[in-house]
Amino acid sequence: MDIGSYKLTSIVTSTFALDGGAMFGVVPKTLWSKQVEVDDLNRIEMVTRTLLLESADRKILVDTGNGDKWQPRMREIFKINTDQFVLPASLMQHGIDVNDITDVICTHLHFDHIGGNTRLQGEELVPTFPNAKYWVQEENWKLANHPNEKDKASYLSENWAVLAQNGMLEILKSDTEIFNDIGLEIVHGHTAGQQLPLISDGTTTLLYGGDLFPMKAHIPIPWVMAYDNEPLRSIAEKKSILPDLLEKDAIIFFEHDPANVACKLVSTEKGIFGGTNINI
Ligand SMILES: [Zn+2]
């Protein structure tokens, strides 16, 4: 798919699993289990899905997934599997070397979004994309370095410390268009300063759903995650964003949905829901 001067490619970088109850907050299992696959430990099968944007002069990644630095115990808890998908190898299949990446837009610094930012070279942590700028919102950067007790376990400095040391981080303070046709929706309900790229050429619009819309089942307004720091704020953010996306006939891209890469929206008397799937 192309939007404006960008060619869009979706790349799955790992499979993993999170607790189903945590993924759907107050929604009863009798409802959410009809929408998603669940294992015998009540975990939902998920993926990490990166979006690659290529133009004449830039090669941009949106998020980098779980990465490959995991110890066996954590791999087991989160069922992290990177046997089939590793970001550098997947990029090579599209003819792109890690040195070619110019920018990495980090939606937020939770490990399942930016674990691929760095990698181990022997015992040493190094940037996975040595020539890239890594873009983060200031509010999220501050929280990641001084996390609250609720989402502290998701902020692991091994995913950014070496980037900060090498001066590779670009700390943003607003929703200004960072590249031609790429704006940012800033939301705070899941965690402070989450930035969701909004790619639009005026005809086609796509929102990278991040952890505001991790899966297609999260489109209905009350279906928010128990992981969110401020669930009521997530609800308000969805309420404000969805009608605008519907009016633009926009596409939502899902970072964590194994079965649905992206979709359009439909409006019914019961609210706004996921509609026709779009392949990217
Ligand atoms: Zn998150």
Give the span between the Cα atoms of 143 and 137, in whole angstroms. 10
The mean pLDDT of 167-195, rounded to a whole number, is 94
> Is residue 257 included in any domain, yes or no?
no
Pick the range with the lowest mean pLDDT from 99-108, 172-181, 196-205.
172-181
Residue 21 near residue 87 (C-beta atoms within 8 A): no
> Is residue 214 included in any domain, yes or no?
no
For 55, phi then psi, to 5°, come to: -125, -175
pLDDT digits (tens, 9 = 90+) for 19-57: 999 999 999 999 999 988 899 999 999 999 999 999 999
Give the span between the Cα atoms of 85 and 235, in whole angstroms. 33
For 123-156, the DSSP string reads TEEEESSTT-EEEEEHHHHHHHHS--TTTGGGB-
Give the span between the Cα atoms of 260 and 241, in whole angstroms. 20
pLDDT at res. 84:
78
Give the span between the Cα atoms of 161 and 157, in whole angstroms. 5
CA of 113 to the centre of ligand 1 (A): 7
CA of 180 to the centre of ligand 1 (A): 26
108 has a pLDDT exceeding 90:
yes
Q: Which residues pair with 50 in a beta bridge?
A: 11
CA of 154 to the centre of ligand 1 (A): 8
Give the span between the Cα atoms of 232 and 253, in whole angstroms. 23
Quick one: tokens of 94?
């599209």
> Is residue 148 included in any domain, yes or no?
yes
> Is residue 238 included in any domain, yes or no?
no
> Is residue 275 included in any domain, yes or no?
no
Give the span between the Cα atoms of 138 and 131, in whole angstroms. 21
Query: Rounded to two decimals, what is the model's pTM?
Result: 0.95
Domain harbouring 197, CATH code: 3.60.15.10
Q: What is the DSSP letter of 225?
A: -
List CB-based neighbours of ion ligand 1 within 5 Å.
Answer: 110, 211
pLDDT at res. 177:
83
pLDDT digits (tens, 9 = 90+) for 211-250: 999 999 999 999 999 999 999 999 999 999 999 999 999 9
The mean pLDDT of 90-102, rounded to a whole number, is 94
> Is residue 263 included in any domain, yes or no?
no
Give the span between the Cα atoms of 120 and 146, in whole angstroms. 24
CA of 56 to the centre of ligand 1 (A): 31
> Is residue 171 included in any domain, yes or no?
yes
Contacts of 196 (CB under 8 A, 6+ apart): 107, 184, 185, 186, 187, 207, 208, 209, 210, 212
> Is residue 197 included in any domain, yes or no?
yes
CA of 212 to the centre of ligand 1 (A): 9
Where b means 16+ CB within 10 Å and e means fewer, 68-96 reads bbbeeeeeeebbbebeebbbbebbeeeeb
149 has a pLDDT exceeding 90:
no
Residue 1: CB atoms within 10 A of its CB come to 14
Q: pLDDT confidence of 190, banded at 50, 70, 90? A: very high
Q: Which domain holds residue 118?
A: 2-209
pLDDT at res. 82:
83
Overall domain count for the chain? 1
Quick one: tokens of 198?
């909004």
